[in-house]
Amino acid sequence: MQAKGTQTVLVTGAAGFIGWKTAKLLLESGFNVIGIDNMNHYYDVKLKEWRKKDLEKYENFRFFQIDIQNLGALKVLFDSYNFDAVLNLAARAGVRYSMENPHVYLQTNAQGTLNLLEMMKEKDIKKMVLASTSSLYAGQPMPFKETLPVNTPISPYAASKKAAEVMAYTYHYLYNMDITVVRYFTVYGPAGRPDMSIFRFIKWIDEGTPIRLFGDGSQARDFTYVDDIARGTVLAMKPLGYEIINLGGGKNPISLKAIIQKIEDLLGKKAKIEYKPFHKADMKETWADIEKAESLLGWKPEINIDEGLKRTVQWYLQNKEWLKDVSVEEGKENI
């Protein structure tokens, strides 16, 4: 998507994995991007600092350390800039940790989204793209279609994202806002989250550390490369009314065992595996029906799992010197 005139877009969670890649795509397409992020320590902040620095190379980028929970700070920001669209990619992520600290998930994912919607209403900004999750489809038949009744979330994380979707619909209905909800399916790629399986597996296999595997490794995911996700998110900025759209691999899901084997081949090293009990809040399998993304956005993924893993491992090896100090633990610091 090419910027019409010079549009200014607010990207929340800009130092996050998907926020960074989406902001970068917007910047390269000629948009002015204002990025905000609270830079929390849910996972090692060194990754966030690296992404932020990468975005700060662009003249059309400005960054502010703001939490979307802070309505006062958002008021100042919205008074200072005229936004053409808001891409709300800020979120507390992580299914397992949401069970330990559910309050912060509701505050960021639901209250934070409400704060942004209120600011948009006040400033008459009509377009939001809201990041949501495949975690909402737990217990539904596959492949997951957007029309499925996702009324039984099985983690506070999924429940908080459902709350954000519902609030977004309310503002669409009441104030004629144009809101596209994009439900992401297991996103991976260079500079990915260190608490996610692919980053961890690469680092652990390379360093000879035993992989902590929850379950027997047969659980499968519809892995989606981050560049494809960013492209779909930017395409979702078009006027659509209110739509929920899956962004996922759309092919048969791939088991964690198969992913480990592919990473072993790329690194030329064998994994040591430490099996842990399957976690109750985890999903056994995810698989996106992406027909709607194709018909409404003209989007489908372009990077297959083998190419995506190759690029991810290459990035890891190129940045190994500083990545060796990056922690793969989540939720251990002051969230």
User: Could you give the residue numbers annotated as active site?
Assistant: 157
Cis peptide before 153 (omega within 30 of 0): no
Closest by CA position to 40, among listed 76, 73, 10, 15 = 15
> What is the distance of C-alpha 326 from the center of its chain?
20
SS3 assignment for 29-53 = CCCEEEEECCCCCCCCHHHHHHHHH
The answer to whether the CB of 283 falls within 8 A of the CB of 290 is no
Let me know how long the chain is: 335
Angle (nearest 5°) at CA 177 between 32 and 55: 20
Q: How far is 301 from 184, CA to CA, in rounded Å? A: 12
**Distance of alpha carbon 147 from alpha carbon 113, whole angstroms:** 22
The two three-digit tokens of residue 249, written as one number: 């691999």
